[in-house]
């Protein structure tokens, strides 16, 4: 007599790593003071520091994450600093 084949178990799914939504402020160097908000309906992403009240906003798309907005803000700050130093 033959054996019955055992049912194969489905592979377990790995949880996606969570990305940060709070960051360090480049102006006041406060840890976890910068929060990002995504308004997908209005297609606007905002970055705001709780300590020094610095704000910045940009347009977003469906694939934008909070780290993307923060990175764009840092790049913009560096570009403005470079332009100020060039003058």
Q: What is the pLDDT of residues 22-77, one digit of tens each?
A: 899 999 999 999 999 999 999 999 999 999 999 999 999 999 999 999 999 999 99
CA distance 37 to 46: 5
Domain contains 30: yes
Q: Are 33 and 51 in contact (CB under 8 A)?
A: yes
Residue 1 confidence (pLDDT) = 63
This prediction's pTM: 0.76
What CATH number should be reported for the domain holding residue 33? 2.20.25.190
The parent domain of residue 78 ranges over 22-86
How does DSSP classify residue 21? S
Domain contains 3: no
Q: What share of the chain is helix, strand, coil (3-state, %, to 5)?
A: 25, 20, 55
Question: What does the chain come to in residues?
Answer: 87
Domain contains 78: yes
Residue 4 confidence (pLDDT) = 74
Dihedrals φ, ψ of 86, to 5°?
-70, -25
pLDDT at 5 over 90: no
């Amino acid at each position: 007599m033959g054996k019955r084949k055992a049912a194969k178990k489905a592979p377990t799914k790995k949880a996606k790593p969570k990305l940060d939504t709070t960051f360090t402020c480049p102006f006041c160097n406060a840890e976890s003071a910068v929060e990002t908000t995504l308004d997908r309906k209005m297609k606007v992403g905002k970055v705001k520091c709780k300590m020094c009240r610095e704000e910045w906003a940009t347009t977003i798309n469906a694939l934008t994450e909070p780290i993307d907005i923060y990175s764009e803000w840092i790049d913009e700050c560096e570009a403005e600093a470079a332009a100020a130093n060039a003058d």
